[in-house]
Homo-oligomer: A and B are copies of this chain.
C-alpha cells in the first residue's frame, strides 16, 4: 500500500516525539511491505517564526495532498505575546477547520504497568477502556466572538450548532460504540443550553438506527464527577467541542501520564490528523526527556483509522505494551522501573517491532 503522510512536528518536544513516529512507521513499511511517503510542513510557533503565520498556505497544501497528517505539538511561551489571531494555537484550530476534521477521538486506557503513576486508586482505574468522541469544528470555538458596548465593555462568544454538525458526530460515535462495548454516553447541559437540548433530540433520533447500542444522556457536571468516580463504567462518550476539551483532559489523568495518550481527528472519508494529547512541553524540549509513546500510539491510530491497516496498528501497540512490560518508562511517568530517555524509548519500541 502506498500512502502520503504529512509530518508537522511543530514546537517544543514536537520534533523529538515525531522522530519516534516516523522511525516506527518506516519500520512498519519495511516489515509489512508498504510505501509511506513523508512530507514535512511548518505549523504553530515554528511557522510564525519562519513565515509570520501559524498555518502557512504551503502547509495546508501539503495536508490537502496527503492521506493522513501527523502533528507533534504547537505553542510555547515564546509566542505568548504575538497577536491573538496569529497565535500558535490558531494554526491548529485553523487546520482542523480547513480540513473539516470534525471528529476527535481520544481513547483512554489504563495501562496495568502505569497504574501507580495515576492519582486515582488502582481499583478505580483498573479495566478502564473508554473513548471520548469530541466534536472539533463547531460550537463556541468557531461561533461569532466580539466586544460590544460603548467602551467595548461587553464580551460575547457564541455557541452555535446546526443539526447536520451534530448528526455527523453523533453518527460517528454510534459507529464506534457498535464495534466496542456497545454503550454510548452523550454528554450535554440540557437543563441550561438550547444547543444541548437539540443535541439530545438528535442523539435520540440517531439511536433508532443502532438498536444494539445502549444510550444514556448525562449532564456535563455529573460526567466530570463520574469520570473520576467510576471511569470503568464508560465505553464511548460523545460531546460538543468545549465540553470535550475539558472532559478529555480530565480523563487523561486516569492513564497516569499525558505522555501515553494518542488522538485522532477524523472526517467522513479516511483522511485524519493524528497527534498526542500532550502539549509542546517547552520546559523539557530538547532534553531527550519527552515520552514518545503518545506520538507513536497516534501513528498506530493512523494505521488503523486512515489506512485500515489493523494488523500493523496492533503490531505497534503490542510493541509499546512489551516495552512497558519490560519496566521501561520516561521521566513523566513516576513509577518504579527503568527510566530512559526519548531516543532510548524509541529504540526499545523499534526493537520489539
Contact = CB atoms under 8 A, between A and B. Distances in A.
A157 B159 contact: yes
A188 to B, nearest CB: 11
Q: How large is the interface on A (under 10, 10 to 19, 20 to 34, 35 or more residues)?
A: 35 or more
B160 A156 contact: yes
A192 B140 contact: yes
A157 B50 CA distance: 39
A246 B229 contact: no
A351 interface: no
Nearest to A123: B119
A341 B221 CA distance: 27
A145 interface: yes
A162 B87 CA distance: 25
A234 to B, nearest CB: 14
B162 A153 contact: yes
Given A119-B121, A119-B124, A224-B246, A162 B149 contact: yes
B198 A225 contact: no
Contacts of A149: 162
A250 interface: yes
For this chain, the copies found in one complex come to: 2
A224 B249 contact: yes
A155 B160 contact: yes
A120 B198 contact: no
A253 to B, nearest CB: 4
B225 A194 contact: no
Q: Which 3 A-B pairs have the closest CB atoms?
A: A224-B250, A221-B249, A155-B198
Interface of A: 84, 87, 89, 93, 119-121, 124, 140-141, 143, 145-147, 149, 151, 153-164, 189, 191-195, 197-199, 220-222, 224-225, 227-229, 242-243, 245-250, 252-253, 258
27 contacts: A87-B191, A119-B121, A119-B228, A140-B159, A146-B194, A147-B194, A149-B162, A153-B164, A154-B160, A155-B162, A155-B194, A155-B198, A155-B199, A156-B195, A157-B193, A157-B195, A189-B242, A189-B245, A221-B248, A221-B249, A224-B247, A225-B249, A225-B252, A225-B253, A228-B250, A228-B253, A246-B246
